[in-house]
């Protein structure tokens, strides 16, 4: 039989692809959109990527088209490189070869994209499929260097630059490789490249010492700087990789001498080119105006900084080893000397610019290196022994003075940012913990903290003396205010070291209370720092949050709208209040008189804030206040709740802020507890909105938390005064139950909360939909979720009248689903056991209903009832040994006893064997006693666990009491088992026509000993 003809594979038309790329590079938005969509389709056809790269490599094509082609290739090709369909072997070979044709590319965009492509392909193909990559690059570098110095190759500089850029990209990719094959390849690259690159850098950097202000604008200067910089970047990647391997991974130990050599040479070179740069900038006087000189100075600055990056990476990677490197101490002290030198000149010589004498990033590198190296000069080593190499008292004191007087004070640009955008300024300050390695002032603060930790004997007396000198001064001049703010910052940063010598509480009661009232406009600088300082002192446990003066100051700073205050002060006070309220020694009774003012001010501040990030910070503070205030918040609920709908609407798609608002309502509900009924009018629309698209993706977790809290803390699901009630959300939770398997456990907990509040009402309105949702979920859920659902069903069948759920249990198909699972016997044992518990609950609740469910299921499936009874009774016995909890074993015994009482022959046929054995096991395991006191008919359960051990969620909520009542009134706990079974056996006798009939038909074949044990148990004489 001949094979059917196959369609010829699609091919890409070079003309069409070129036209589409031209369209994507056009200035017409409509043409760009259409061409981009068509290009995406074409790239799914084999051969398209090969042609696309060819367009980028063809230098006669217009530059925008080439750029568009290479960008599209870079964005899509590397992700599909493993596809043999899109990249047949012959195409891959052409693409790899073509990648190396870009080494003389003049356009930076095209070259950068090509370097990224080569790096990604090399990660997968080098050295196995692309063995010629590195030999080609090294050959190009060697040839270009020789050609550049001999003048024999006009484009030698360009080829050398592109080759170094490409090599750097490949080394960056491989240096991050963690798999063993990648580590092995990188190790070989280090061995092959380290000496050639070291020699090349020495040659390329040899011209740097001869730089003069006059030579900065020469083309050769820029080229020399750029090529030396690129070469050292490659060399630094090799160096750090080798350092990391032998210090942290304990391999490649043979590279340690080479790393030591490179580090020592780098330390010497850094000092030389740093001094060269400082002298050049000083000689220039003003920043150069021509672009060539600016470019040269920028490259020299970046070259100085790349040394610092290498040193910092090595230091962070293995600090203990870093300090042992040759010349490390001299290097760190050199950096610190530059920090000191920067303070001796005018402030303008320090800026975040490559054209000033002391760029901020250079000084920050120096400070960070100094800070993390201080431990090597600590007076005592980690083992407790004395250190021979320590910093002198004079050195430490000078360092502290420099930090506190020059680097920690706010500078003009800080004050300008404060005035221009107060909220953004505070937000940036709050992020300083993450940014300290990149900004001068936060870095200086960290250096001060480390000095105080390593040299407390010098730092503590110095700050104490300065504090005593400054604290009593009341100058309103701006320089004095700024210096006082810096001192307060230093005290806050070193508070833990200073609490023995500075009386913080006395300072608060006398000085800070008065200073918080100052109305001088510039004094807002100090008042903002006072708010920050109080939050810091409390969080560091240097002050306790039980002092009314503390709250007096913070509340005033939070509320003050007059002269001497502004948005920065108020926002900082809001943040400080959260830190104080959230402290271990917070006293809510001391805070209570200030609670209304704090809440009203935070609510107002939230509405006034312009940025959503500020709103989030204020809301976080409000949420913490509500949580710690507990029931004291009840009179203020309306004040908090009223603005939330407007804030919610204004937040639009700022999901983080909306999550904060949900958190506010959740905390409000949890604190109000049974007083939270009126909040349902707010909860219901919020929860509804959270489950609309696209909000559900971002807010469902927070919405479920609010929903659960509202149910746990309310006393009714009905609305108050005609407002929406939690009952209005029942259809939504049913829909979630049937469809949202990702958080099924959370959903079931919410459903249980509804049951505990008003199960009859829920069933009257939604019984069929509810049980259909259970049926849909139980067929798809994991074993753990099935267990949660069966527990919820058992709860429902215990507390709700059977008349409300019996018919729905059949019509929904849930009963049939359980029977089918028991019949198949393929589900996990835990699930089958849980299903038996559900059936036992039904039988205990209403035995006649159980018979009706069996009958209706048989009719629906067109089978005899015996075929329904068989798997039920088989599993009832088979799963008994899997039941470990006495309460559930007793439930199972009571359920089967109720079925025995019906006189069904399918059940009674098993009475003499399985059922009697089951009862005897339970009788032997549990021990109960009926109290003889006339006024105390309760049952003493020796097998029982107290509710507090069985259930630990939702403590201190109304739901906890509801659950406890359900637990304590469970028939399994209140009904004596012996009496219950005895009564059911008498009912079975009646159903069979008398005791003799039951004996002859069903008990005659029982073992006499077994029957005796049953009668002894029923009569209370079982030993």
pLDDT tens digit string along 3-30? 444 444 568 889 999 999 999 998 899 9
**β-bridge mates for residue 359, sequence order:** 351
Q: Which residues of 974-999 are buried (b: 16+ CB within 10 A; e: fewer)?
A: eeebbebbbebbebbbebbeeeeebe
Predicted confidence (pLDDT) at residue 401 exceeds the cutoff of 90: yes
Compute the distance between CA of residue 121 and CA of residue 130 in angstroms, rounded to an integer: 9
Instruction: State both tokens at 242.
Output: 């080798």
Compute the distance between CA of residue 577 and CA of residue 600 in angstroms, rounded to an integer: 13
Predicted confidence (pLDDT) at residue 433 exceeds the cutoff of 90: no
Residue entry with tokens 């609010």: 706
Question: What residues contact 815, with CB distance under 8 A and at least 6 apart?
Answer: 809, 853, 857
Report the 10 Å Cβ neighbour count for 951.
15
| 795, 752 Cβ separation under 8 angstroms | yes
| 197, 238 Cβ separation under 8 angstroms | yes
pLDDT tens digit string along 113-148? 999 999 999 999 999 999 999 999 999 999 999 999
pLDDT tens digit string along 965-1004? 999 999 998 898 888 999 999 999 999 888 888 888 888 8
Predicted confidence (pLDDT) at residue 836 exceeds the cutoff of 60: yes
Closest CA to 444 of 435, 455, 431, 457: 435
Compute the distance between CA of residue 808 and CA of residue 813 in angstroms, rounded to an integer: 8
Please state, for a pLDDT cut of 70, what percent of the chain lies above it: 96
- Percent helix, percent strand, percent coil in the chain, to nearest 5: 75, 0, 25
Q: What is the CA radius of gyration of the chain?
A: 39
Query: Which segment, 425-429, 471-475, 493-497, is predicted with the most confidence on average?
Result: 493-497
Q: What is the mean pLDDT of residues 475-492?
A: 93
Instruction: State both tokens at 948.
Output: 């507090």
pLDDT band at 474 (very low <50, low <70, confident <90, very high): confident
| 548, 511 Cβ separation under 8 angstroms | no
Q: What is the mean pLDDT of residues 805-817?
A: 96
pLDDT band at 430 (very low <50, low <70, confident <90, very high): confident
pLDDT of 438 reads 84
| 221, 157 Cβ separation under 8 angstroms | no
Sign of CA dihedral 978, 981, 987, 990: negative
User: What are the CA-CA distances from residue 711 to residues 444, 632, 685, 719 (Å)?
Assistant: 51, 20, 15, 13
Closest CA to 493 of 451, 438, 524, 435: 451
- CB under 8 A, 24+ apart: contacts of 940-943: 941/973, 943/886, 943/887, 943/890
E-state strands within 838-952: 928-930, 939-941
Q: What is the mean pLDDT of residues 845-850?
A: 96
Report residue 895 CA to chain centroid gap: 48
pLDDT of 6 reads 44
Any idea which of 24-38, 218-232, 1006-1020 has the lowest mean pLDDT?
1006-1020
Average pLDDT, the chain: 91
Predicted confidence (pLDDT) at residue 737 exceeds the cutoff of 50: yes
3-state secondary structure 211-275: CCHHHCCCHHHHHHHHHHHHHHHHHHHHHHHHHHHHHHCCCCHHHHHHHHHHHHHHHHHHHHHHH
Name which residue leads in pLDDT, 996 or 799: 799
Instruction: State both tokens at 938.
Output: 């309760």
| 896, 911 Cβ separation under 8 angstroms | no
pLDDT of 932 reads 43
pLDDT of 481 reads 94
DSSP 391: -
Query: What 3-state DSSP class applies to 434?
Result: helix
pLDDT band at 931 (very low <50, low <70, confident <90, very high): very low
Instruction: State both tokens at 613.
Output: 């990030």
Q: What is the helix (H) or strand (E) element at residue 351, kind and residue range?
A: strand 350-351
Any idea which of 242-256, 267-281, 685-699, 942-956 has the lowest mean pLDDT?
942-956
Report the 10 Å Cβ neighbour count for 780.
12
Report the 10 Å Cβ neighbour count for 937.
10
Compute the distance between CA of residue 125 and CA of residue 851 in angstroms, rounded to an integer: 70
Compute the distance between CA of residue 240 and CA of residue 227 in angstroms, rounded to an integer: 20
pLDDT of 87 reads 92
pLDDT band at 1 (very low <50, low <70, confident <90, very high): very low
| 893, 853 Cβ separation under 8 angstroms | no
Report the 10 Å Cβ neighbour count for 387.
13
pLDDT of 354 reads 92
pLDDT band at 165 (very low <50, low <70, confident <90, very high): very high
Locate all alpha helices (DSSP H) within 421-565, ordered by sequence.
422-430, 432-435, 440-454, 456-471, 478-493, 495-498, 504-507, 513-515, 524-539, 548-559
Report the 10 Å Cβ neighbour count for 5.
6
Compute the distance between CA of residue 25 and CA of residue 36 in angstroms, rounded to an integer: 9
pLDDT band at 1023 (very low <50, low <70, confident <90, very high): low
Instruction: State both tokens at 435.
Output: 């940014």
Cα torsion 973, 836, 906, 813 to 10°: value is 120
**Helix and strand tally (H, E) in the chain?**
53, 4
| 414, 558 Cβ separation under 8 angstroms | no
Total residue length of the chain: 1023
Instruction: State both tokens at 918.
Output: 């089951």
Compute the distance between CA of residue 696 and CA of residue 700 in angstroms, rounded to an integer: 5
User: What are the CA-CA distances from residue 72 to residues 56, 69, 99, 173 (Å)?
Assistant: 10, 5, 15, 21
pLDDT tens digit string along 297-342? 999 999 999 999 999 999 999 988 999 999 999 999 999 999 999 9
* Cis ω for the linkage preceding 694 (within 30 of 0): yes
Predicted confidence (pLDDT) at residue 616 exceeds the cutoff of 70: yes
Question: What residues contact 61, with CB distance under 8 A and at least 6 apart?
Answer: 55, 69
User: What are the CA-CA distances from residue 221 to residues 146, 151, 226, 262, 294 (Å)?
Assistant: 18, 16, 9, 25, 12
Closest CA to 815 of 853, 849, 772, 863: 853
The pTM assigned to this predicted structure is 0.82
Instruction: State both tokens at 429.
Output: 């300050």
Compute the distance between CA of residue 882 and CA of residue 832 in angstroms, rounded to an integer: 10
Report residue 446 CA to chain centroid gap: 26
Q: What is the mean pLDDT of residues 705-713?
A: 95
pLDDT of 1016 reads 81
DSSP 297: H
Closest CA to 793 of 811, 767, 830: 767
Report the 10 Å Cβ neighbour count for 1021.
9
Compute the distance between CA of residue 858 and CA of residue 948 in angstroms, rounded to an integer: 43
Name which residue leads in pLDDT, 1003 or 64: 64
Q: What is the helix (H) or strand (E) element at residue 839, kind and residue range?
A: helix 829-845
Pairing of strands 358-359, 350-351: parallel
Compute the distance between CA of residue 835 and CA of residue 818 in angstroms, rounded to an integer: 6
DSSP characters over 41-60:
HHTTSTTHHHHHHHHHH-TT
Predicted confidence (pLDDT) at residue 480 exceeds the cutoff of 80: yes
Compute the distance between CA of residue 522 and CA of residue 478 in angstroms, rounded to an integer: 7
Compute the distance between CA of residue 509 and CA of residue 828 in angstroms, rounded to an integer: 67
The number of C-alpha atoms within 13 Å of 531 and in the hemisphere containing its C-beta is: 28
Compute the distance between CA of residue 357 and CA of residue 339 in angstroms, rounded to an integer: 11
Predicted confidence (pLDDT) at residue 217 exceeds the cutoff of 70: yes
| 787, 746 Cβ separation under 8 angstroms | no
Closest CA to 490 of 371, 377, 557, 405: 405
Any idea which of 137-141, 147-151, 381-385 has the lowest mean pLDDT?
381-385
User: What are the CA-CA distances from residue 156 to residues 103, 106, 916 (Å)?
Assistant: 10, 12, 98
pLDDT of 1021 reads 66
pLDDT of 228 reads 97
């Amino acid at each position: 039989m001949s094979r059917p003809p196959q369609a010829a594979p699609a091919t890409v038309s070079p003309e069409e692809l070129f036209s589409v790329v031209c369209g994507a590079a056009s200035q017409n938005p409509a043409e760009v959109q259409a061409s981009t969509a068509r290009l995406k389709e074409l790239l799914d056809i084999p051969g398209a990527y090969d042609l696309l790269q060819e367009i980028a490599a063809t230098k006669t094509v217009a530059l925008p088209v080439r750029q568009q082609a290479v960008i599209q290739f870079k964005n899509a090709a590397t992700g599909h490189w493993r596809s043999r369909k899109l990249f047949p072997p012959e195409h891959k070979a052409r693409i790899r070869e073509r990648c190396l044709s870009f080494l003389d590319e003049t356009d930076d965009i095209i070259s950068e994209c090509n370097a990224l492509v080569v790096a990604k392909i090399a990660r997968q193909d080098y050295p196995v499929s692309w063995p010629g990559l590195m030999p080609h690059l090294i050959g190009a570098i060697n040839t270009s260097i020789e050609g550049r110095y001999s003048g024999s190759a006009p484009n030698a500089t360009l080829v050398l630059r592109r080759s170094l850029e490409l090599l750097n990209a490949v080394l960056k990719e491989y240096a991050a490789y963690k798999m063993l094959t990648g580590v092995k390849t990188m190790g070989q690259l280090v061995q092959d490249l380290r000496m050639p690159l070291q020699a090349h850098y020495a040659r390329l950097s040899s011209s740097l010492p001869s730089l003069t202000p006059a030579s900065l604008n020469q083309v050769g200067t820029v080229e020399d700087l750029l090529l030396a910089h690129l070469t050292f970047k490659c060399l630094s990647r090799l160096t750090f990789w080798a350092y990391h391997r032998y210090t942290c991974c304990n391999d490649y130990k043979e590279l340690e001498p080479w790393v030591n050599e490179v580090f020592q040479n780098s330390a010497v070179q850094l000092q030389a080119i740093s001094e060269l740069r400082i002298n050049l900038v000083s000689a220039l006087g003003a920043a150069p105006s021509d672009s060539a000189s600016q470019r040269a100075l920028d490259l020299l600055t970046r070259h100085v900084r790349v040394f610092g990056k290498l040193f910092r990476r090595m230091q962070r990677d293995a600090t203990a080893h870093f300090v042992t490197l040759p010349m490390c101490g001299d290097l760190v002290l050199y950096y610190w000397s530059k920090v000191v030198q920067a303070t001796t000149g005018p402030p303008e010589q320090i800026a975040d610019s490559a054209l000033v004498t002391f760029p901020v990033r250079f000084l920050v590198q120096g400070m960070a290196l100094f800070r993390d190296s201080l431990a090597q000069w600590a007076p005592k080593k980690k083992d407790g022994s004395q250190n021979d190499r320590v910093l002198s008292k004079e050195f430490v004191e000078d360092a502290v003075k420099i930090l506190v007087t020059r680097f920690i004070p706010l500078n003009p640009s800080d004050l300008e940012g404060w005035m221009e955008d107060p909220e953004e300024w505070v937000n940036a300050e709050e992020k300083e913990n993450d940014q300290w390695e990149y900004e001068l002032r936060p870095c200086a603060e960290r250096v001060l903290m480390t000095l105080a930790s390593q040299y407390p004997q010098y730092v503590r007396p110095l700050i104490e003396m300065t504090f005593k000198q400054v604290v009593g001064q009341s100058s309103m001049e701006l320089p004095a205010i700024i210096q006082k703010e810096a001192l307060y910052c230093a005290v806050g940063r070193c508070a833990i070291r200073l609490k023995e010598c500075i009386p913080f509480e006395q300072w608060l009661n006398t000085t800070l209370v008065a200073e918080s009232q100052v109305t001088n406009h510039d004094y807002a600088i100090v008042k903002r720092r006072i708010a920050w300082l109080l939050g810091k002192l409390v969080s560091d446990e240097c002050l306790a949050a039980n002092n009314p003066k503390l709250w007096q100051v913070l509340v005033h700073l939070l509320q003050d709208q007059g002269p001497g205050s502004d948005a920065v002060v108020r926002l900082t006070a809001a943040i400080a209040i959260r830190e104080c309220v959230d402290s271990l020694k917070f006293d809510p009774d001391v805070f209570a008189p200030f609670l209304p003012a704090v809440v009203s001010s935070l609510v107002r501040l939230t509405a006034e804030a312009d940025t959503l990030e500020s709103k989030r910070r204020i809301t976080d503070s409000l949420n913490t206040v509500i949580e710690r205030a507990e029931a004291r918040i009840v009179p203020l609920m309306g004040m908090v709740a009223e603005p939330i709908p407007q804030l919610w609407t204004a937040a639009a798609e700022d999901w983080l802020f909306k999550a904060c608002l949900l958190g506010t309502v959740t905390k409000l509900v949890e604190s109000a507890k049974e007083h939270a009924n009126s909040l349902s009018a707010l909860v219901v629309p919020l929860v509804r909105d959270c489950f609309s698209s696209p909000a559900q993706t971002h807010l469902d977790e927070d919405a479920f938390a609010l929903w659960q809290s509202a149910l746990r803390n309310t006393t009714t699901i009905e609305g108050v005064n005609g407002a929406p009630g939690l009952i209005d959300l029942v259809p939504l939770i049913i829909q979630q139950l049937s469809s949202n398997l990702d958080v099924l456990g959370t959903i079931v907990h919410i459903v249980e909360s509804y049951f505990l509040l008003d199960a009859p009402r829920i069933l009257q309105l939604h019984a069929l939909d509810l049980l259909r949702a259970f049926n849909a979920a139980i067929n798809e859920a994991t074993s753990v979720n099935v267990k949660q659902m069966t527990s919820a069903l058992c709860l429902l069948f215990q507390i709700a009248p059977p008349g409300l759920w019996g018919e729905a249990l059949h019509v929904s198909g849930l009963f049939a689903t359980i029977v089918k699972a028991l019949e198949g016997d393929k589900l996990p044992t835990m699930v089958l056991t849980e299903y038996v518990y559900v059936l036992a609950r039904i039988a205990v609740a209403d035995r006649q209903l159980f018979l009706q469910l069996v009958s209706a299921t048989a009719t629906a499936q067109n089978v005899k009832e015996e075929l329904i009874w068989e798997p039920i009774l088989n599993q009832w016995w088979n799963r008994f040994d899997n039941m470990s909890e006495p309460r559930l074993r007793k439930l199972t015994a009571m359920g089967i006893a109720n079925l025995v009482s019906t006189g069904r022959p399918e059940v009674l046929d098993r009475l003499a064997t399985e059922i009697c054995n089951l009862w005897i096991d339970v009788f032997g395991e549990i021990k109960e006693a009926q109290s003889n006191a006339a006024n105390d008919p309760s049952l003493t359960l020796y097998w029982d666990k107290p509710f507090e051990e069985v259930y630990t969620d939702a403590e201190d909520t109304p739901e906890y009491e509801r659950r406890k009542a359900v637990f304590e009134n469970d028939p399994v706990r209140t009904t004596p088992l012996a009496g219950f079974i005895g009564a059911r056996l008498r009912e079975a006798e009646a159903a069979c026509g008398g005791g003799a009939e039951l004996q002859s038909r069903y008990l005659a074949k029982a073992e006499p000993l077994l029957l005796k044990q049953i009668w002894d148990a029923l009569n209370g004489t079982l030993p």
